[in-house]
Amino acid sequence: MFTEGTGKKSDHPILTTRRLVLRPFEKKDLNAILMIFGDEELNTFLPWFPLKTMEDARQFFLERYERFYHDLPESPQKGSWEFRYAVCRREEDIPIGYVHLGGDDSHDLGYGLKREFRGQGFMTEAAGAVLDYAGDLGLPFVTATHDVKNPKSGRVMERLGLTYRYSYEEFWQPKGFLVTFRMYQKNFDGSDGTFMGYWEQSKVHFVSGPQSEELCPDKEPTNRGV
3-state secondary structure at position 220? coil
Give the integer Cα–Cα distance in Å for 104 and 198: 13
CA dihedral sign of residues 155, 156, 162, 164? negative
Tens of pLDDT, residue by residue over 173-187, are 888 889 999 999 999
- Asked if 46 and 127 sit in the same domain, the reply is yes
Q: Is the pLDDT of residue 216 over 50?
A: no
Q: Out of 73, 105, 139, pick the residue that ends a domain.
A: 139
For residue 149, what are the domain limits? 141-226
- The yes-or-no verdict on residue 122 having pLDDT over 90 is yes
Assess whether 133 and 145 both reside in one domain: no
pLDDT band at 74, cuts 50/70/90? Answer: low
Q: What is the pTM of this model?
A: 0.87
List, in sequence order, every residue forming a beta bridge with 100; answer none if it has no partner: 84, 110
> What is the CB neighbour count within 10 angstroms for residue 86?
24
Q: Which amino acid is it at 198?
A: Y
Q: What is the pLDDT of residues 26-52, one digit of tens each?
A: 999 999 999 999 998 888 888 889 999
Can you give the pLDDT at residue 214?
53
